Amino acid sequence: MTAFNQAAATLELFVRQVRYEGRNIQSYELVDPEGAELPPFTAGAHIDVHLANGVIRQYSLCNSPADRHRYVIAVLRDEKGRGGSKAVHEQLQVQGRVRVSVPRNNFELAQGARKVILIAGGIGVTPLKSMAHQLANTDDVDYELHYCARDAQCAAFTDELQALVERERLHFHFDGGDPARGLDIAALLRDEAQDGTHVYYCGPAGFMRACADASGHWPSDAVHCEHFKAPERAITPADRKPGEFTVEIASTGQRLPVPIDKSIADVLKAAGIGVQTSCEAGLCATCKVRYLSGEVEHQDCILDADDQQNFLTLCVSRAKSELLVLDL
């Protein structure tokens, strides 16, 4: 049986294999220590990886959802990042143990799609690779995968993808560091989506902006993306509201001030109110909470417009009103 912590919804897994996949990229195959099946997942899902220094980071599962005995993640070591990727590269070793969450999915393939366009930038290929695995086993969905990278050495899983995807399904685009020499995303998405066509994209910030611009004329429900890092947001004088706002706990009436330099999550935890957080950047929805009244300034990259009518993320959401009432 998989070692499972029900309260925290985590698994203790065994690192069976670490592989070099590309420049500064390693993949990690995680299995149950006794060889048991793992909780199932769907393409686009991710897990939280709990590291020894207390850091928690999210990584997409990049293997086929049909694999029931393993989770595979791939991590690009980022020397300028917040330290999570370096910790993974340094701490996760073959025959070691690691605690991870059960899979969650905020980036699922749409039901009923007739055609799917997958556009990956660099390490952003990981969730799209899992989607390609799933789509390759689906007879009634046309699909294509465009993989953008600096060069072949910077691309991960090239051998596996070549073996997995028929030649006309997979397209590599190597730009040598000059985006103008790479995939013309605007041309790829110039025509408006036909009924039943969906596009999925994931990659670094500049790539994400290019994809968003190129798909701006598509119906919003046909375009899907996942950010690995929260987009930088320009701070204007209007954002620098003086003072603070207040949150109210609906179940008790307790009111807590939220200063400008603290998140709602910070304030709740300091008050002894147990809330779960993970990415602390508005990317994973772990801290998604319903609010009952107040005007929210949403700064997350995960909730859609419908969700934002009723929910906020405790790690990054702020208030435009003086009071927010939380359904806690």
Note whether 80 and 175 are same-domain residues. Answer: no
User: Which of 54, 77, 101 is the last residue before a domain boundary?
Assistant: 101
Note whether 96 and 130 are same-domain residues. Answer: no
User: Which of 182, 209, 227 is the last residue before a domain boundary?
Assistant: 227
Task: Report the C-alpha gap between 281 and 228 in whole angstroms.
Answer: 10
Residues 6+ positions from 134 with CB-CB distance below 8 Å: 42, 43, 64, 65, 66, 109
- Which pLDDT does position 233 carry in this prediction? 55
Task: Report the C-alpha gap between 88 and 15 in whole angstroms.
Answer: 12
Over pLDDT 70: what percentage of the chain? 92
Note whether 289 and 194 are same-domain residues. Answer: no
Query: Around Cβ 81, how many Cβ atoms within 10 Å?
Result: 13
- 232 — pLDDT class (breaks 50, 70, 90): low
At 293-306, the pLDDT tens digits run 999 999 998 898 88
Closest CA to 311 of 323, 274, 294: 294
Over pLDDT 90: what percentage of the chain? 68
CATH number, position 7: 2.40.30.10
Find out whether 313 and 285 touch, Cβ atoms under 8 Å: yes
Note whether 90 and 9 are same-domain residues. Answer: yes
- Which pLDDT does position 7 carry in this prediction? 40
CATH number, position 310: 3.10.20.30
Domain for residue 108, yes or no? no
Note whether 313 and 253 are same-domain residues. Answer: yes
Q: State mean pLDDT over 153-174.
A: 86
Q: Tell me: pLDDT of 203 over 60.
A: yes
49 strand-pairing partners: 57, 100
Q: Which residues of 241-251 are buried (b: 16+ CB within 10 A; e: fewer)?
A: eeeebbbbbee
- Which pLDDT does position 163 carry in this prediction? 75
- Which pLDDT does position 201 carry in this prediction? 97
Find out whether 145 and 165 touch, Cβ atoms under 8 Å: yes
User: Which of 44, 74, 101 is the last residue before a domain boundary?
Assistant: 101
Q: State mean pLDDT over 239-259.
A: 81
Q: Is 196 exposed, middle or buried (0-12, 13-18, 19+ CB in 10 A)?
A: middle
Note whether 220 and 248 are same-domain residues. Answer: no
- 171 — pLDDT class (breaks 50, 70, 90): very high
Note whether 10 and 92 are same-domain residues. Answer: yes
Tracing tokens 């147990």 back to the chain, one arrives at 274
Domain for residue 65, yes or no? yes
Q: Tell me: pLDDT of 240 over 60.
A: no
Note whether 119 and 85 are same-domain residues. Answer: no
Residue 156 C-alpha from the chain's centroid: 18
pTM value surpassing 0.85: no
At 29-87, the pLDDT tens digits run 999 999 999 999 999 999 999 998 788 899 999 999 999 999 999 999 988 777 889 99
Higher pLDDT, 136 or 240: 136
Domain for residue 76, yes or no? yes
- 230 — pLDDT class (breaks 50, 70, 90): low
Domain for residue 107, yes or no? no
At 18-30, the pLDDT tens digits run 999 999 999 999 9
Q: State mean pLDDT over 238-248.
A: 68
100 strand-pairing partners: 11, 49
Note whether 253 and 185 are same-domain residues. Answer: no
- Which pLDDT does position 189 carry in this prediction? 96
- 194 — pLDDT class (breaks 50, 70, 90): confident
> Which residue range forms the structural domain that includes residue 156?
115-227
Note whether 219 and 241 are same-domain residues. Answer: no
- Tokens linked to 223: 């375009």
Domain for residue 106, yes or no? no
284 strand-pairing partners: none
Note whether 163 and 215 are same-domain residues. Answer: yes
Domain for residue 286, yes or no? yes
Residue 243 C-alpha from the chain's centroid: 33
- 285 — pLDDT class (breaks 50, 70, 90): confident
CATH number, position 200: 3.40.50.80
DSSP 109: P
The total number of structural domains that make up the chain: 3
Per-chain mean pLDDT for the chain = 89
Q: Tell me: pLDDT of 108 over 80.
A: yes
Domain for residue 110, yes or no? no
Higher pLDDT, 100 or 137: 100
Closest CA to 46 of 73, 81, 83, 76: 73
Task: Report the C-alpha gap between 157 and 163 in whole angstroms.
Answer: 10
- 244 — pLDDT class (breaks 50, 70, 90): confident
Note whether 214 and 241 are same-domain residues. Answer: no
Domain for residue 109, yes or no? no
- Tokens linked to 55: 């850091």
